[in-house]
Amino acid sequence: MKKIGLTGIIGSGKTTAALYFKGLGVPVFIADDCAKELMENDDNLKNQIINLLGDSAYLNGKLNKEFISEKIFYDSMLLNHINNIVHPRVHEYFNIWISKQNYKYIVYEAALIFENNSQHIFDKIICIKTPINLILDRINNRENYSEDKVKRILNNQLSQELKCSKSDFCIENISKNKLYNELLNIHTSLI
């Protein structure tokens, strides 16, 4: 079974692409969803996060996303530490998940494939690239983040150009029709 990495910066359309693959019947693993679930429910991870960031990292037992994002996106050392705590657990769950799949290939969607140096586990990598003005519009409509927060997030990710240069496929996401056509071509080549 082939493992396909799907990446891109925040707001590029990774999740849209992942959902398209899912609609084609392809098993899709969303790394961010797994990370959030683990951070909420894995007591060992929770304790490590509390030890690193303090009790405010959780409110009434729930992940305090606002507090954590404010802390880690201003401090790259904290961000790296959180990634080093969470992402190995995500990869453990991914390996368990993949052992239960039965398809010609699976898709692993994550913004930080290259940043976490996990590109070696994939047979192919697809990068979704989008004009920055569209990205900013999407993020403002979806996340209600300040422009400063968006810039901090983008500064902690590799550029689209670098991600594309390291990927096997680079898809320019300027319209859903174009995106879906290119994804279908990749899908056809993989099955």
* Residue 7 falls in which region: left (phi positive, over 0), alpha (psi -120 to 50) or beta: beta
Per-residue pLDDT tens for 88-127? 999 999 999 999 999 999 999 999 899 888 999 999 999 9
Q: How far apart are CA 106 and CA 161, in angstroms?
A: 25
Domain ranges of the chain: 2-27+101-190
Confidence of residue 137 (pLDDT cuts 50, 70, 90): confident
* Class of the CATH domain delimited by 2-27+101-190: alpha beta
- Residue 160 backbone dihedrals phi, psi, to 5 degrees: -60, -40
Per-residue pLDDT tens for 35-91? 999 999 999 999 999 999 999 999 988 999 889 988 887 788 888 899 999 999 999
